[in-house]
Amino acid sequence: MSEVRCLSAQEFVQAESVSEGAILQGRDLQRVLWMLRGLQKELARKEKFWAATNDNLASAYRTLEERSDELRKTREALVQLNQSLEQRVAAQVDEIVQRARQIEALNLQLQQKVHERSRELAMALRRLSENRRARALGPGDVFAERARVRRVLGQGGMGTVYLCDDLLTGQPIAVKLMHQGLGSDSAVLHRFFGEATAASAISHPGVVKTLHVDVTSDGQVYQIMEYVDGIDLATRAQQAALSMPACARIGATLAAALAAAHQKGVVHRDLKPGNVLLTRGGPGVRILDFGISKVLGDEDGVLSMTRTSQLMGTPQYMSPEQVRDASSVTAASDVYSLGVMLFELICGRPPFVGESLGAICAAHLYEPPPSLQALYPQVPEPLSIAVMLCLEKSPALRPTAAELACVLSALADAMAAPSAESFFSTSAPPPVLAHLATLAQ
Amino acid sequence: MAKQDIELLGVFLQSLAAACVNLQIVAQEQAATILSTQPQCWYPAAHYIDFLQTLSKRYAHFEPIKERIGAEMMRLWYQHGPGQQIIHRGVDFLRYQTSSEGYHSVVRGPAKDIGAFSLEEIDEAAGRARVRSTSPFDRTMEKGILLGGMSLTQDLIYVDVDNSVDPSLFLIEFH
């Protein structure tokens, strides 16, 4: 039997092993008991603490897993979406490229066909014009199954203008029959139809409207315009001088019509009193033949000198840039021509006169215009300033047609000028002015 | 609780934050604001309350953690604060709660707002004591403070605090 040995609580706690006969008793036993209970309590508290934190950790881990899973799925969806988008974009780009190629091919085919047809047309017209001589139309003649001729209205460098009755509407119309030979040049034809189309787009009461442009079966180019009962400004000014208010009002109406044309990109290029009509009805002033002069030149609108004298009339109204290079004609050139017309209306003579074409052209280029106020002191200063600005050598210094219309309209209103249609008639002429001069032919 | 009138000593807040960091309940940077308080300055109790509310939202079972925080706070108060000058035996911590002396050393404000944390009765021979709390603070954390405070000197071999019958009345057994 092993020896019984009483251990103290301290010895019991510190011992690595306890011999068989060792005992605890009394206070030591009680102490060890409390120690064990204390440890038990502490262990239980720690267990609860770790359970709570582990629980939280597990929950956080689950949330992390769920979020990772969500993130992975979102990433996969984004990759798929990206791939799908790339495929769609590539497909659309391919389609666009294909379509563009198709359009390009169709365009080339179309251009070829137009070119061939133009050539065929020009050849047909040339043959016809070689085989036929143009004959003048007389009263009662039916033209192009569209118009019955009443009488000749006028003749000029480009052709003859007839007053006709429209067989479709019964209304009076003006038909301009171009000179034979114009239709034989395909380039001229092309430009003619292009310009006529552009001019017909101008919608302003101050512009004589082109109703139709075509070629007859026997190759004659013709233009149908609205018939305007009027008198050209050159003839009217010869009959009786126009007052300052009248000049301002006519100038304002002309400028407004020009502004409308310029807004459509159409430049007249040959503005002169012969191309302006004073009419009975509103607005009282109408401009003829927009863009036609471009047709008569080459691609850049340059006319040969021989044709110039025949077809364009006098150079008194040409701008400096037009004299220098016809291809540089712009809307500002029309404003210059209008300025020359107004100068002439006010004081009875154009700003530049000369014995030869060359002298007049040189004056436009190099000489300053004479002072309107000096030539005609009664002219109101604002009107004089407006006209002289139009005659600036540099196009950039001239007012636009729209600006000029505003200024002249205000001046006309200030001078209590009546509307322009009142100037059509000379039945109540203003007082004769001492320095009245005839307008240039 | 009218928390705007109650203030806590900086060292109390620091021990709270440090306890949470030590127990790896929060990262150091998350407790940086409270850790940067000055130990001898007074701060609104809102710091303490907001901090605990933030923590409680993260844990489904926060009670055992609060108890452990309370105990850890006392350990830090003892090791890095004035504890060692005041407490030499586990029972000294209980006696330090007489007339809320210990409580008032770290909490101040209007008496009706801060309440009391006071030793009502102690029998050293029997190993029994009773502490009553009328403070506005968390009872589980106060239980942890008692458990931790009494274990500071490691002279007691058994400490248990029970407030299961009345949460505001802590029945303490110690040997």
Q: Which residues of chain A have pLDDT under 50?
A: 297-313, 428-441
Question: Are residue B129 and residue B97 in the same domain, yes or no?
Answer: yes
Per-residue pLDDT, A441:
29
- DSSP E strands, B18-156: 42-44, 107-108, 117-123, 128-133
Question: Are residue B78 and residue B132 in the same domain, yes or no?
Answer: no
Question: Are residue B145 and residue B163 in the same domain, yes or no?
Answer: yes
Q: Residue B129: phi, psi to the nearest 5?
A: -155, 165
Question: Are residue B168 and residue B105 in the same domain, yes or no?
Answer: yes
Per-residue pLDDT, A439:
29
Q: Which of A115, A289, A132, A136 is closest to A217 using CA atoms?
A: A132
Question: Are residue B104 and residue B162 in the same domain, yes or no?
Answer: yes
* Active-site residue, from A55, A69, A232, A270: A270
For residue B114, the enclosing domain spans 88-174
Is the distance from CB of B156 to CB of B136 less than 8 angstroms? no
- Is the minimum CB–CB distance between B58 and chain A shorter than 8 Å? yes
Is the distance from CB of A218 to CB of A128 less than 8 angstroms? yes
Question: Are residue B93 and residue B126 in the same domain, yes or no?
Answer: yes
Question: Are residue B97 and residue B165 in the same domain, yes or no?
Answer: yes
Per-residue pLDDT, A308:
42
Task: Report d(CA A93, CA A100) in Å as an integer.
Answer: 10
Question: Are residue B100 and residue B78 in the same domain, yes or no?
Answer: no
DSSP labels, A46-86: HHHHHHHHHHHHHHHHHHHHHHHHHHHHHHHHHHHHHHHHH
Q: How many CA atoms lie within 13 A of A211 on its CB side?
A: 16
Give me the numbers of helices (H) and strands (E) for chain B, helices first please: 9, 7
Neighbours of A48 (CB within 10 A): 16
Question: Are residue B59 and residue B18 in the same domain, yes or no?
Answer: yes
> What SS3 class is residue A423?
helix
Domain end residue (candidates: B63, B83, B103): B83
Note which residues in 343-382 of chain A have CB less than 8 A from chain B: none
Question: Are residue B100 and residue B41 in the same domain, yes or no?
Answer: no
Mutate to test the interface with A, among B57, B61, B171 (most CBs of A within 10 A): B61
Q: Residue A129: phi, psi to the nearest 5?
A: -70, -30
Mutate to test the interface with B, among A8, A33, A45, A55 (most CBs of B within 10 A): A45
Neighbours of A272 (CB within 10 A): 25
Separation in Å, CA of A35 to nearest CA in chain B? 5
Q: Which of A31, A41, A48 sits opposite B64 (nearest CB)?
A: A48
Task: Report d(CA A136, CA A68) in Å as an integer.
Answer: 96
- Is the minimum CB–CB distance between A49 and chain B shorter than 8 Å? yes
Is the distance from CB of B35 to CB of A22 less than 8 angstroms? no
Sheet holding A230-232, edge to edge: A230-232, A276-279, A285-287
Question: Are residue B93 and residue B57 in the same domain, yes or no?
Answer: no
Domains and CATH numbers, chain A: 116-227 (3.30.200.20), 230-441 (1.10.510.10)
Q: Which of B67, B76, B75, B1 is closest to B34 using CA atoms?
A: B76
Separation in Å, CA of A52 to nearest CA in chain B? 6
Question: Are residue B76 and residue B119 in the same domain, yes or no?
Answer: no
Q: pLDDT tens, position by position, for chain B (175 residues)?
A: 455 689 998 888 888 888 988 888 887 777 777 777 888 889 888 878 888 888 888 888 889 999 999 999 999 888 888 888 889 999 999 999 988 888 998 899 998 889 999 999 999 999 999 999 999 999 999 999 999 999 999 899 999 999 999 999 999 999 9
Domain end residue (candidates: B83, B102, B134): B83
Handedness of CA A50, A55, A59, A61 (dihedral sign): positive
Active site residue A270: yes
Domain end residue (candidates: B48, B83, B118): B83
ipTM of the complex: 0.82
The count of structural domains within chain B is 2
The pTM of this model reads 0.48
